[in-house]
A and B are shown apart, each in its own frame.
Chain A
Amino acid sequence: MTRRSRDSRAQGGRYLLVLVVMLAINFFLPRLMPGDPFLYLSVEDGTVSVVFSQQQIDHYKAYYGLDKPLHVQFGGYLLGLLRGDLGYSIYYNTSVTEMIFTRLPWTLFIVISSLVVSSVVGTALGAISAWHRDGMLDRILYAVMIVLSEIPSFLLGVLFLFIFAAQLKWFPLSGGRTVFATYGSVGTALGDILHHATLPVATLAVSRVGGFYLLSRNSMLTVITKDYIRTARAKGIGRRAVIIRHALKNALPPVVARIFMSLGGLFGGAVLVENVFAYPGVGRLMREAVGNRDYVLLQGIFLTITVMVLLMNWLADIVYRKLDPRVAR
């Protein structure tokens, strides 16, 4: 037990180290980007921009503390973080913490929903496939899943957008909810949000389902050759019960670990998918921030995503240890 707690302490230390390194990269990377956030000399899409005078640029830099030496800025940044203050967006003139936390639920919502869908469906299909190993069903499923797991999520998103939103008009083209809608009840509000979320969630789920399928199939294939499965079948237990109670249960640990591990990757996928569907999550905010060279906002978003991914990986470690005592040894 002591050894175990020492282990997890060492692991916690590693995560802390990663976090500190990430903080530093997070702070310095945007500042190494070429360009000045207040310099608008050119126009890209026929829009008009304010041209700031040097005095005004200086004023803003002083206001946002960007005129100070880098190490002073870094110190201020760390101090602010301790207070949960991520600073002010220099493009939108709004609190970054507020901007991110109003967007985060949208992203979490599609990430978690798609994870639930893809893991349940993927695992089930994997189990079925393994049971019918080398049969027709297995071969078809295997081929389809291999293809699905290789299609990038944003491409799938564009395809879905074109077919289901633009052509069939079953789902809205963009957004997270109907704009200016005033809902009569929580039910209609929920319906509206789910309707808007369907395509982004489906896109993410489909792009992830292949991974779960392959993992679950492999795991099952290993398990069903085991003696206890033969014993269970010999006892005359029904097929379904054998699969679910005996085989799947033992095949699950790697799948569950994968669920948590893939949360990190899903955040990456969500960034792209949100932009395809103009979904109001953190990913879309990130794109706006990059385009506007909004250092402060960028930093805040990167930090949030970093912390999320680290947290999920840590959680995956813990859960995996709990599920499979062999790992904790």
Chain B
Amino acid sequence: MHRRRTSLQFGMAFVALCLVVSLAGCSQKGEDTASPGQESGTSPLGPISAPAADQQTRTVAKPTVRLAGGNTGLPNPFKHSPRGPGMSKMQILYDTLLEKDEHGDIPWLAESWEVSKDGKTYTFHMRTNALWHDGQPLTAEDAAFTIGYYREHPPVVNDLLIGGSYIVTDAKALDEYTLQVTFDKVSPTYLTKIGGMRIIPKHIWEHVDDPIAFTGAGATIGSGPYKLDSYDPQQGAYRFIAFEDYWGPEPAAAAIEWIPVGDSVLAFQNGEIDLINAPADIVPSYRENPEFTVKTAHSFHSYRLMMNMDAVKALQDANVRKALVFGIDRQALVDKAARGAAMVSSQGYVLPVSPWYNKDIEQYPYDPDKAQELLGGATYTFSLLTDNSADGMKVAELIKLSLSQIGVTVNVQSVESKTRDNAVNTGKYELLLINSGGMGGDPDYLRTIYGTGGTTIKGWSDPQIASILEAQSVELDPNKRKELVYEAQKLIADQVPMIMLHGALDNFVYRPAKYDHWMFRYDHSKCDHNKLSYVIRTESEQAGQTT
């Protein structure tokens, strides 16, 4: 009996010891099989790291930029997780025909391009000195191959598929560095779409049938300014190192590291990470301290109140919808819910920070008297579906408070966020509160929401708005297109098919003494997501010559 007990405990201790050794052993293994850039971190436990690369970074006086990590998938176009942090890591590794700066699209792998007379065929002249991370030259053949490959195997970010059809009808390499792409129709948005396509190396992917299952050598070989050095999915850690043979602007950091952190503000204070998107309440303390720089940009997201006109007949009356806008104190949402780090949105949908924004439309200032007048003494009771986030519930309660002043009773119903998201599609709601994005860049997003076939707004459609939105989507003259987009905003604001509330501002804080290259793209507000935040740009490049 006695012996059995001790052997049991010895047994358990032995198992525990074996586990420790196996954990340690695996990290050892990672070290042995190091092969920078080639491996994709598929070793069972440890990351793959290259001691050689380590020494190299030490000889260069550039900083290593550290950011908050987390596993966001293997950074290639097929396997990254479908959110910003996953998408952006992949984008740093993989280059495109065009890149995006503060003002618009800029030449990148394509130095210049011509458009055919009918507007459907684009000829891109590509750089002759671009290399893949494995040293192979990047040619027009790779780009043409990518377009064909994406048709069969859609990447996570799939801009070339619109409304169920692939927008490219033909893509071929005219010679080594000339790419010709033919589209299905004329559209002012196609250049940006093809320009943002991540080009993948033909010599690797032509042998791959199932890109989602592929993790072998070359799965992360791109052509961007950094290459993957280490990926540890368990710890959620990534390290990218500068690609010395990069054709373009010099990498500004020796390496970019995403490391696991518990609390990002604490980690930033301790100097463990170099950039945070700071909560509104602590931004002022950073603004006062000269050690830090605060960079503010609109998040290109906005809270919106959706109204189900299928389910609630009363909402079919435009006056009721207008009364609701006049009756909601949206500045209070900015001040109280967002603690000042937000901006009241426009009823024309396009954000006030966009170059496409029409300011000469109905602004709907908070006016409870006017709201009551529009309601004509009628009172209503609606249920409002929101998610159970602290922020969402705060906004919902403030709306309830505002609307109670004009005789509209709101019953707030808070559910888990995915349930709420699902309700948007199924239409099981009366009023619904949601914070959505995708409001940066080209205003063609108006068409998908307010245009023909849009299913976002239940029980509403307007033929005039739909036809204007259709017209702008094929108008190549920028001035004429701007007029159409302006007109659409005015009409949308008069109809109020959906109440736009307020959009958050991002406040990025960093220590400029350590790293000062952070920038905002014209269509994206997260500076740690932007490729140009990691390269050295000249003054004139930053001033911007856009297409």
Contacts and interface: CB of A to CB of B under 8 A. Distances in A.
A260 to B, nearest CB: 10
B436 interface: yes
B125 interface: no
Given A116-B12, A249-B2, A94 B437 contact: no
B23 interface: yes
A174 B133 CA distance: 33
B21 A190 contact: yes
A202 interface: no
A59 B154 contact: yes
A321 interface: no
Contacts of B233: 92, 94, 99, 102
A35 B82 CA distance: 16
A177 B46 CA distance: 10
Given A43-B437, A93-B79, A323-B4, A190 B24 contact: yes
Interface in A25-69: 33-36, 39-44, 46-56, 59, 63
Interface in B130-179: 154, 156-158, 161-164
B345 interface: no
A46 B506 contact: yes
Given A42-B417, A53-B158, A189-B24, A105 B19 contact: yes
Contacts of A46: 277, 299, 301, 504, 506
A278 B237 contact: no
Interface stretch (A140-148, A178-186, A302-310): A178-186
B385 to A, nearest CB: 12
A112 B78 CA distance: 38
Interface string B14-26: 0110011111110
B235 A102 contact: no
B45 interface: yes
B425 interface: yes
A161 B261 CA distance: 13
B234 interface: yes
Interface in B329-345: none
B280 to A, nearest CB: 11
Interface in A271-329: 277-278, 280, 288, 292-293, 319, 322-323
B152 to A, nearest CB: 11
A103 B260 CA distance: 16
Contacts of A101: 44
A186 B28 CA distance: 7
Nearest to B433: A42
A113 B23 CA distance: 14
A186 B25 contact: yes
Contact of A176 (B79, B234, B425): B234
A44 B301 CA distance: 11
B21 A56 contact: no
A296 B80 CA distance: 17
A166 interface: yes
A252 interface: yes
Interface residues of B, number: 91
Contact of A93 (B8, B73, B85, B230): B73
Contact of B83 (A49, A173, A176): A49
Nearest to A109: B19
Nearest to A113: B16
Contacts of A54: 164
A91 interface: yes
A256 interface: yes
A43 B418 contact: no
B421 A182 contact: no
Contacts of A47: 83-85, 526
A106 interface: yes
Interface stretch (B47-55, B103-111, B310-318, B356-364): B47-55
Contacts of B387: 42
Nearest to A190: B24
B31 interface: yes
Interface centre among A116, A161, A179, A280 (most CB of B within 10 A): A179
Contact of B24 (A94, A108, A193): A193
Nearest to B87: A50
A42 B234 contact: no
Interface in B28-54: 28, 31, 42, 44-45, 47, 49, 51, 54
A245 interface: yes
B12 A115 contact: yes
Given A41-B424, A109-B19, A48 B416 contact: no
B155 to A, nearest CB: 10
B161 A56 contact: yes
A114 to B, nearest CB: 10
Given A47-B85, A174-B260, A256 B5 contact: yes
B19 A174 contact: no
Given A115-B12, A292-B81, 11 more contacts: A46-B277, A46-B504, A48-B300, A53-B162, A101-B44, A112-B15, A186-B25, A193-B20, A280-B235, A322-B4, A323-B4
Interface of A: 33-36, 39-44, 46-56, 59, 63, 88, 91-95, 98-99, 101-103, 105-106, 108-109, 112-113, 115-116, 120, 161, 166, 173-177, 179-183, 186, 189-190, 193-194, 245, 249, 252, 256, 277-278, 280, 288, 292-293, 319, 322-323
Interface of B: 1-2, 4-5, 8-9, 12-13, 15-16, 19-25, 27-28, 31, 42, 44-45, 47, 49, 51, 54, 69, 71, 73-74, 78-79, 81-85, 87, 154, 156-158, 161-164, 212-213, 215, 230, 232-237, 239, 257, 259-262, 266-267, 277, 299-301, 387, 389, 415-422, 424-425, 434-438, 504, 506, 524, 526, 529
27 contacts: A35-B421, A39-B418, A41-B424, A47-B85, A47-B526, A48-B524, A56-B158, A91-B73, A92-B74, A98-B44, A102-B233, A102-B234, A105-B45, A106-B234, A109-B16, A116-B9, A173-B266, A175-B235, A179-B260, A180-B257, A182-B49, A189-B27, A189-B28, A190-B21, A249-B1, A256-B8, A280-B234
